[in-house]
Amino acid sequence: MTSSARIAATADVDDRATIGDGAVVWHLAQVREDAVVGPECTIGRGAYIGAGVRLGARVKVQNLAQVYEPAVVEDGVFVGPAAVLTNDVRPRAITPGGALKGAADWDPVGVAVRTGASIGARAVCVAPVTVGRWAMVAAGAVVTRDVPDHALVVGVPARQVGWVGRSGSSLAADGEHWVCPRTGERYELGENGLRPLAAG
């Protein structure tokens, strides 16, 4: 933990967690052992960051969001209020023999959220999935398959309905390219989704 981090007295931050410079952890949030919260992150009221979860720089995890291990969340990601990043493909409380399941009875799988992506309020990302760079998952969506870079996905299960730019605005088609109406930035379709064209 660093001296420049601000941690509410009512937050539960394990001594083995790493909290970056300028990070803020609000009331009733829990950050588990071996989690890494990068610099300038904000962890909202009542949010949960699981053991060993990795958050990059300037990530916002809003109130009551739950990020379960072994999630990896890259720089500049937004995780909306009450959103959930799961980690169990076949959740059960007990074994087939009726015994209470413990840590040795399952293999957690993680969600990866790439740079700049946004996960809307109450959305659920069902592991193992990857949400691409600058993609946007609409509020209440349930993501069950990978989301391409810059894709806008909505619904249950989530389906792609468009493209978004780095500003978060929906992109407009312009011939073979896509254009952000807010910034004028232009994009082209690449192997993993849209990518911005080089300026000039």
pLDDT digits (tens, 9 = 90+) for 131-147: 999 999 999 999 999 99
Long-range CB contacts (< 8 A, 24+ apart) of 13-21? 17/49, 20/57
Q: How far apart are CA 16 and CA 31, in angstroms?
A: 10
Looking at residue 129, its pLDDT comes to 98
Q: How far apart are CA 67 and CA 83, in angstroms?
A: 8
Looking at residue 1, its pLDDT comes to 54
Ranges of the chain whose pLDDT falls below 50: 200
Residue 40 in domain: yes
Instruction: Tell me if 198 sits within 8 A of 188, measured CB to CB.
Output: no
Residue 139 in domain: yes
Residue 52 in domain: yes
Looking at residue 103, its pLDDT comes to 83
Q: How far apart are CA 133 and CA 124, in angstroms?
A: 17
Looking at residue 97, its pLDDT comes to 92
Q: Quote the number of domains for the chain.
A: 1
> What is the domain range of residue 82?
6-164
Looking at residue 200, its pLDDT comes to 46
Residue 61 in domain: yes
Residue 194 in domain: no
Residue 74 in domain: yes
Bridge-based pairing state of the strands 177-179 and 186-190: antiparallel
Looking at residue 193, its pLDDT comes to 79
Q: What is the edge-to-edge ordering of all strands in the sheet holding 130-131?
A: 18-19, 36-37, 54-55, 72-73, 112-113, 130-131
pLDDT digits (tens, 9 = 90+) for 58-76: 999 999 999 999 999 999 9
Residue 137 in domain: yes
Q: What is the CATH number of the domain that holds 34?
A: 2.160.10.10
Residue 158 in domain: yes
